[in-house]
């Protein structure tokens, strides 16, 4: 599944180690699609471990307000007769002009015509 939208919130990276000694990191990201009067907000998780750990920690270069395109999967798990859902990010990229309108130099009196 894909979504294009603006990052509304990002948590700090949570880190830990698995039972077998593999390090992991997780960030939660809230993305708003901005469509219509009632935009959709999705809570998504970026979970990385092992050699990919850097993409959730040191190489994570996204900020609140960035326009992004995200590819993710949705899954549901049952545990002790309760259901839990998760939106897992597997690819995230910056998209569009990223909230910056082009700067126009209005100090010149030269007209183009």
Q: pLDDT by residue (tens digit) across 14-26? A: 999 999 999 999 9
Q: pLDDT by residue (tens digit) across 41-90? A: 999 999 999 888 888 888 889 999 999 999 999 999 999 999 999 999 98
Distance CA 15, CA 24 (A): 6
3 state SS of 62: coil
List the Cα angle 69/71/72 in 5-degree steps.
135
Distance CA 54, CA 59 (A): 5
Q: What's the start-to-end Cα distance of the chain, in Å?
A: 48
CATH architecture of the region 2-94: Beta Barrel (2.40)
Tell me how far the alpha carbon of residue 73 is from its chain's centroid.
Answer: 13
């Amino acid at each position: 599944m894909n979504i294009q939208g603006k990052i509304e919130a990002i948590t700090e990276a949570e880190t830990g180690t698995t039972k077998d000694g593999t390090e992991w990191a997780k960030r939660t990201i809230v993305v708003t699609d901005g469509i219509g009067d009632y935009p959709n907000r999705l809570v998504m998780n970026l979970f990385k471990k092992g050699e990919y750990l850097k993409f959730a920690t040191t190489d994570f270069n996204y900020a609140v307000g960035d326009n992004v395109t995200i590819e993710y999967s949705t899954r549901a798990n049952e545990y002790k007769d309760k259901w839990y859902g998760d939106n897992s990010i597997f690819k995230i990229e910056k998209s569009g002009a990223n909230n910056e309108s082009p700067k126009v130099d209005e100090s010149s009196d030269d007209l183009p015509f």
